[in-house]
Amino acid sequence: MDRLFEWIKVVDCSRVFSGPFCSRFFSDYGAEVLKIETPDFFDESRLFYPIKNGKSGYFEVLNRWKESINIDITTQKGLEDFYELIKGADIFIENFSPWVKKRLKIDYDTLSRMNPRLIYWSVNGYWENWDKKAYDVIVQAESGIASFNGENKPIKNATAMIDAFSGNSLALGIASLLYKREKTGRGDFVNVSMISCGFQLLKQNIIATSITGMNPEFPGNQDTSIFPFGFYKTQDGNIAIAIWNDVLWERFCEHIIPEIAGQFTSNSQRMVAKEHLVKNMEYVFDNYTTDELVRKLEWLWIPCWKIASITDLIDTPKFFEENYLKKMHHPELWEIVVPYEFVHFNQYKIEAIRSAPDLGS
């Protein structure tokens, strides 16, 4: 089977999330990804929850298909072995602090002289000229995202969204440079900073503050620009509703809350009155179970769905049929479900998953 990145070799010194998330995209579609580790300096996520039979599910989901290579680049012999890999590599990935990679002699200037076709990929907290460590939770705070995420106090996002967005951004940058290299024959350097990714995720909110001079209020389960566009209580649970235009709003009112039909006809009016409207909506929704309300709103062509649990996802065959999720047998973790395809190609598929490597194997 022809694989998208079949002839690409990746040397990966990155750790934990953003870098491994990026390189997994390439390993999933056929690239040879060599993960550089040593028994004393290995990817810390090998120790992250959940752990079963000594194996980490966290590490597994980010490092499938890769090969762990035991090279200690702090020694002369290890550095020489590393340089030999770089000479034949297409992509190098790292998330070291700027001063660390210079001290280790694995910076872009050094490696590009050995291999002018090398695409050197770097992720760090604050570009290359700011030597400060960053982690997803810190950048959620420093980027301003946490300042208006929650009900009445800052709430950390449950998943590492900035890590994931950084990894996706890096994959996009690398793919762009692979295309450019086909035209020029030369590699290049691409850097993604986590703080800049956090700023991208602010979206319209930073524009709103620059216009009004006011920080966003805590929106709770509502959107900061559109209403109704959020989560709402029902008789037995919660439902997500996305009404993004006035026509849908009028249809919603006519069939669900007829007593306010013809009112709050613009999004601006609804945003001003959203606290009042949420109370009205949830008062009416208390007459419906979540499933009943979903059926009625879907009949009206109003986007909605119940708040699904993780067990709901695992029990939904359609997600597996469409390759969004994959069930696999792991020698230590046993039967597990993993995220699978998030980019759908017409010709290329992820083949049967090979487990993440043991250290140095």
pLDDT, tens digit, 9 for 90 and up, residues 147-199:
999 998 999 999 999 999 999 999 999 999 999 999 999 999 999 999 999 99
Please state, in angstroms and rounded to a whole number, the distance separating the CA atoms of residues 241 and 301. 11
CATH number of the domain encompassing residue 256: 3.30.1540.10
Task: Tell me whether residue 317 is in a domain.
Answer: no
What is residue 51's three-state secondary structure? Answer: strand
Please state, in angstroms and rounded to a whole number, the distance separating the CA atoms of residues 193 and 41. 23
Task: Tell me whether residue 253 is in a domain.
Answer: yes
Task: Tell me whether residue 185 is in a domain.
Answer: yes
Give the tokens for residue 274: 């959203």
- pLDDT, position 131: 74
Same domain, 252 and 333: no
Task: Tell me whether residue 345 is in a domain.
Answer: no
Please state, in angstroms and rounded to a whole number, the distance separating the CA atoms of residues 286 and 234. 5
Same domain, 188 and 237: no
Omega prior to 339 cis, within 30 of 0: no
Biggest CA pair distance of the chain? 78
Same domain, 160 and 265: no
Please state, in angstroms and rounded to a whole number, the distance separating the CA atoms of residues 60 and 46. 8
Same domain, 178 and 248: no
Same domain, 151 and 271: no
Same domain, 56 and 126: yes
Q: Which helix (H) or strand (E) covers residue 172, if one does? A: helix 161-184
Contact 128, 94 (CB under 8 A): no
Instruction: Find, among 358, 320, 359, 321, the residue nearest to 338 by Cα.
Output: 320
Task: Tell me whether residue 222 is in a domain.
Answer: no
pLDDT digits (tens, 9 = 90+) for 242-271: 999 999 999 999 999 999 999 999 999 999
Same domain, 26 and 167: yes
- pLDDT, position 134: 85
Instruction: Give the β-pairing of 334-339 and 325-330.
Output: antiparallel
Task: Tell me whether residue 282 is in a domain.
Answer: yes
Q: How many domains does the chain have?
A: 2
The model's confidence at residue 218, banded by pLDDT at 50, 70 and 90, is very high
pLDDT digits (tens, 9 = 90+) for 66-85: 999 999 999 999 999 999 99
Beta bridge partners of 241: 230, 304
183-208 as b/e: b if 16+ CB within 10 A? eeeebbbbbbbbbbbbeebbeebeeb
Q: What is the chain's mean pLDDT, rounded?
A: 94
pLDDT digits (tens, 9 = 90+) for 106-123: 999 999 999 999 999 999
CATH number of the domain encompassing residue 192: 3.40.50.10540
Task: Tell me whether residue 3 is in a domain.
Answer: no
Q: Is the dihedral of CA 285, 288, 294, 295 positive or negative?
A: negative
Give the tokens for residue 92: 């190098």
**Domain range spanning residue 295?**
229-306
Contacts of 245 (CB under 8 A, 6+ apart): 267
Same domain, 51 and 180: yes
HSE value, Cβ hemisphere, 13 Å, CA-based, for 149: 15
The model's confidence at residue 1, banded by pLDDT at 50, 70 and 90, is low
Same domain, 82 and 165: yes
Instruction: Find, among 173, 233, 169, the residue nearest to 201 by Cα.
Output: 169
- pLDDT, position 351: 81
Tell me the mean pLDDT in the region 315-344: 94
Please state the φ and ψ torsions of residue 91, each to the nearest 5 degrees: -135, 140
* Site of tokens 């752990």: 51
Same domain, 165 and 64: yes
Task: Tell me whether residue 143 is in a domain.
Answer: yes
For the chain, the first-to-last Cα distance in angstroms comes to: 25
Please state, in angstroms and rounded to a whole number, the distance separating the CA atoms of residues 219 and 230. 10
Q: Any idea which residues carry the catalytic annotation? A: 163
Same domain, 108 and 163: yes
- pLDDT, position 279: 96
What is residue 260's three-state secondary structure? Answer: helix
Instruction: Find, among 181, 6, 14, 12, the residue nearest to 91 by Cα.
Output: 12
Same domain, 115 and 249: no
Cα angle 166, 24, 361; round to 5? 130
